[in-house]
Structures are given as C-alpha cells and as structure tokens.
Amino acid sequence: MLQGRQSWVFVKQPVIISTAVVGGPFEGAGALAQDFDILYEDIWLGQASFEKAEKKMLEDACEKAIQKAGLNKEDVHFFLSGDLMNQIISSSFAARTLGIPYLGLFGACSTSMAGLSLAAFLINAGGAGYVLSAVSSHNSAVNKQYRYPTEYGAQNPPTAQWTVTGAGAALVAANGNGPRVTGATIGRIVDLGISDPFNMGAAMAPAAVDTIKAHFRDFNVDAAHYDLIATGDLGKVGHHIAGDLLQEQGIDIPPDKFTDCGLLIYKKDQPVMAGGSGCACSAVVTYGHLLNRMRRGELKRILVVATGALLSPLSYQQKESIPCIAHAVVMEREGD
C-alpha cells in the first residue's frame, strides 16, 4: 500500500462507478458545458443565500452520483466532503441531508483529490464497500468570505482567479465498471512566502511541482507514463510558473500533456482573469470532462494534481503568507 515516501498504490484498484457534476450559469456558458450533469441558470438556485445555493449544488451532485450508480443513499458507507466555507458548512449541511456517515475534509481547493485518495484508500483496505467523495464551491459565497462581496465593487487584479460555482461527486466502489483509482500521492505544505490572495496560482505552483516530483520519485515513473497531467487550479499565472519550476528541477512534461483544470473550464472570452479556481474547479473538470474523455477512450491514464491554498481571511488580514498543498491521484481506464 505505502509506496515510497508519501504515496499509496491501490492494488485492488477501486472503481469510480459514477460521477456527477453540477454547475452555475457562468460554467454553463463555459468551455465544458456539455460535461455537466446539471446546470443552473440562476446563481441563487432559488435559495435565500449563496451559501444555501452551494449546499444545494453539493446535495444535487451527491444524489445524482448515487442515482447514476443505481444505488440508494443507504448503500453508501461513507461520505467524504469538503468546501471553502468557514467550518465547511456546505459539506456538513449536505451530510445532514444525505444521512450518510460523514467525514469532513478541509484542503481548500485540493480537497477533491484528498477526498478521492482517501475514498480509494478506504475501499482498497476493505474499510467500505461504497464511498462518496464530493466537494463544492460558489463564486459569490467565496468572494464574500475571502475577498470582497461582489456588490462592493472592488477591482480584481489580472492575477486573480474566478471561483467556480459548482459541485462534483465521485462514487468509489470495490467492484464495477468505470475508471480505476490506482495510486495517490499526498502532498506536503509548501510556502514560499506569497501573501497575496489575489495571486493564488503563483502561491500554489511550487506545491504542485513538489507533489509531482514526489509522485514521479515514489512510483519511479516519468511524464511518459501518463496521457495527461492536470493540476487543479493554478490558472494562467500559476501554470506558467509550474512549467518553469518543473523544467528547473529537470522534470520534463511535454506542453500537450500538461494542463490545468482552471484553464480548461472557461472560454477564452469569459472575464475570468487568470482562470478558474475553487474546490469545484478540479472536481467538475476531472469528474466531468476528464473522466468522460477516459470513458470515451481518449485518455488511458491520467494524473490529477489538485492544488490548495490553505489561508483563512484572518490569516490574510494578519499578513501571514499562504501555505499551499497539492494532492495527486492516478486514474486509469479499465481494462488497459
């Protein structure tokens, strides 16, 4: 199970038997609209607050994933979930609705792969038959908490990123049809002293590189082993920095194999500054777009490296730098 210094190999190859992806209007107008299961036209989702709207999206993603697998809530043993709200309320409140035994996770935008790797670990170890792993984020709720409420009208610099409004859920099982989770690398905190929450991509890039390097070392592989390596939400600025850092460290990933979920999700003409971000960014792109490509046979083996900036509004106000992390998960097409 333990592979090298900080990785797991899942010999029983847990299966992602279903995924579900929910998005808002901005995502519906984006580049990957066809990969969403549910798209809402109203960012409020008919709810009284943005936080309630986020919880609703998370519930929808979870229920849809369970339904697509032909299961009931009662069949799912554990629910692993996280989000960006204080005290991860979206996840805990969705867990209240679902009634599935629940562990809340916080890894900021790295939570998607933290959850998926733990779900695979639980299944692989025989600790569960079905584990549901999910995350959510809501642009307006996140802006309110971490930056400024949108109606305040503060300017965003070009390095800022656009938080994805959406939720993604993956149902992992011991047997079944679907992409396999075969390995994971758990990241360590990397903090190079960036304290600007409007430049998260630059802050997170070194963490992504650290985890990719650790992954290649632990599994004794290189980029050629994968059809695609996708970071979570580095955006334009961070993706560029990560590319440079990888090169400096002698790790060669061809540009056509190296991408970022934050760069894939929106169209070029959408006003998203440096790209997408948020817990839902890597989740909706991976569980929707990338796994759909894998199901179609376009991708056989991918590495998703979800990146997270572990700051709080308080730590930022107290001028702390931003500790960053990245977790990597290997997904493979079945039968290959």
| Residues contributing to the site for another protein (CB under 8 A) | 43-44, 50, 139-140, 143, 148-152, 154-155, 157, 165, 196
Q: Closer to another protein at the Cβ: 193 or 254?
A: 193
Q: Closer to another protein at the Cβ: 1 or 148?
A: 148
In angstroms, what is the minimal distance from the CB of 166 to another protein? 13
Question: How far is the CA of 212 from the CAs of 20, 43, 65, 128, 310, in angstroms?
Answer: 27, 35, 29, 28, 19
Torsion angle of alpha carbons 211, 215, 218, 223, nearest 10°? Answer: -140
In angstroms, what is the minimal distance from the CB of 199 to another protein? 10
Q: Closer to another protein at the Cβ: 28 or 129?
A: 28
Bridging pattern class, strands 180-185 and 7-9 = antiparallel
Q: Closer to another protein at the Cβ: 24 or 232?
A: 24
CA distance 107 to 10: 22
- Beta bridge partners, 8, equal 2, 184
- Beta bridge partners, 79, equal 102, 132
Q: Closer to another protein at the Cβ: 75 or 196?
A: 196
In angstroms, what is the minimal distance from the CB of 58 to another protein? 17
In angstroms, what is the minimal distance from the CB of 149 to another protein? 7
Q: Closer to another protein at the Cβ: 34 or 155?
A: 155
Q: Closer to another protein at the Cβ: 125 or 154?
A: 154
In angstroms, what is the minimal distance from the CB of 141 to another protein? 9
Q: Closer to another protein at the Cβ: 193 or 335?
A: 193
In angstroms, what is the minimal distance from the CB of 163 to another protein? 10
In angstroms, what is the minimal distance from the CB of 276 to another protein? 15
CA distance 30 to 24: 10
194-199 long-range contacts, CB within 8 A, separation 24+: 194/321, 194/322, 195/316, 195/319, 195/320, 195/321, 195/322, 196/159, 197/146, 197/147, 197/309, 197/311, 197/316, 197/322, 198/147, 198/156, 198/157, 198/159, 198/160, 199/157, 199/159, 199/160, 199/237
CA distance 211 to 192: 15
In angstroms, what is the minimal distance from the CB of 43 to another protein? 4
Q: Closer to another protein at the Cβ: 152 or 297?
A: 152
For residue 253, give both structure tokens. Answer: 């990933």
CA distance 190 to 131: 29
Q: What is the CA radius of gyration of the chain?
A: 18
In angstroms, what is the minimal distance from the CB of 154 to another protein? 5
CB-based contact 119:77 (threshold 8 Å): no
CB-based contact 331:305 (threshold 8 Å): no
